[in-house]
Amino acid sequence: MKDYIALKEVKTDLNSGAITCVQLVEQYIQKIQENNHLNAFLEVFNDSALEKAKEVDQKLSVGTAGKLAGAVIGLKDNICYKGHKVSASSKILEGFESVFSSTVTERLLQEDAIIIGRLNCDEFAMGSSNENSAYGKVLNAANNEYVPGGSSGGSAVAVQAGLCLASFGSETGGSVRQPASFCGLVGVKPTYGRISRHGLIAFASSFDQISPFTRTVEDAALLMEVVSGADDFDSTASQKEVGAYAASLDDRTPKKIGYIKQCLENDGLDPEIKDHMIKLIEDLKAKGHTVEPVEFPYIEYMVPTYYVLTTAEASANLSRFDGIHYGHRSELASDVESTYVLSRSEGFGAEVQRRIMLGTFVLSAGFYDAYYTKAQKIRRVLKNKTKEIFKEHDFILTPTCPSTAFKHGAVSDPIQMYLQDIFTVQANLTGVPAVSIPRGTHSNGLPFGVQIMADEFQEGPMLAFAASISQN
């Protein structure tokens, strides 16, 4: 099938009659089957996708189709779609069918997007490599020996391999931007509260945000425009007006950009990525932008702070999966206590259990102030420092990740895996928007990206700047 890079290409072919939505979906289904070895899709929604495609074709014929007509989209396996299974890639929710749709799903369908399936991820979105799924690891389409990043690895690979036009993942500490960098895609993390979390299976409620993967900034802007905004079902969703992101991408006025000095000086940063960052900075200066180093002396505190807070929230959020209310219940259970213990031990994987135990520990009576309270104070310091930078600068520029993708099994130490998030967690801790954009291919043949952060609710200017320097 034709490899569609952007929605405008799909629309051109739909309008000319070169293809129909039904044919498009059928071709994607065939391509998914041909690339089954990547393990990106846990389930393809053949019937509902084809039914929606017929509906969209009818709307196109009479000129009433929505903004996303022709957009075939996959959903991470923690985003609810009524009447379809959702499991967060965990055995504890195996076979569970959602009784309602997330707000994001509803808004996509209202604009005539076609949801084609649910995508593999690290269990309960906990991981940086997509090796923690109960249903097997996802393979990077650029080189199958390498990870796609996580936790939204299936969502990234589905777009990377052309198995759908775009997809949605979720962001807690870099779970869209890191896979976007590893797979050569655009991955947007919105301001906290910009997109409703209603219908997203929670990991850490003060961090989680549903986020898109695309191959162009233009498509990312359009998807952000469609799914953003206030929601009566989510009290944390912002009431702020949503900008016309897609129509504002041609802003080329000079900007003031700060790059975090400590990121470029980090010992773990790949030399080629560092050289690319230095060249990009010089290129931006040559184009009239002001680019200067900024101090952010808290890099070493960000990952520990992030994991104290997110594991605490995960411990609380995942307490609902108890073998009593719904989900997996152990057949060996004989009383209430054994039902809890056995069901959770059988249903949760090792990484999820590790984070629940860590979170329970930092919330316990003897350690609450020493860990959780202190982490909240550090989070405030990080937020204040980030706001201080944005008083003087339009954007913050950093590498998205310290390296390109690593081989499956290459990172076995949990601490080393957690450090994969070192450049991405700042945006989640402080609630600001960020985007990873593809910037080329490393000498090892794998893609890598750079990250742009902006002040709260400045997605429009951020995406316009991203469009001006993206290499996709």
> Which residues are catalytically annotated?
76, 151, 175
Q: Which amino acid is at 344?
A: R
Closest CA to 170 of 193, 188, 147: 188
d(CA 159, CA 116): 12
Hey, what's the torsion of the CAs at 28, 31, 32, 36, to 10 degrees? 180
Q: Which DSSP symbol is given to 373?
A: I
Between helix 217-227 and helix 7-16 the angle, nearest 10°, is 90
Radius of gyration of the chain (CA): 21
Q: C-alpha distances in angstroms, 91 versus 132, 136, 320, 329?
A: 12, 12, 15, 10
Is the distance from CB of 448 to CB of 401 less than 8 angstroms? yes
Residues facing 119 on adjacent strands: 41, 76
Beta-strand pair 395-399/290-294: unpaired
Beta-strand pair 41-44/114-119: antiparallel
Residue 249's CB is within 10 A of a number of other CB atoms, namely 21
Which pair of tokens denotes residue 448? 């890598």
Ordered alpha helix ranges (H), 46-148: 46-62, 103-110
Beta-strand pair 166-171/209-214: antiparallel
**CA 280 centroid distance within chain:** 25
Closest CA to 358 of 369, 348, 371: 371
Which pair of tokens denotes residue 125? 């979105």
Residue 280's CB is within 10 A of a number of other CB atoms, namely 18
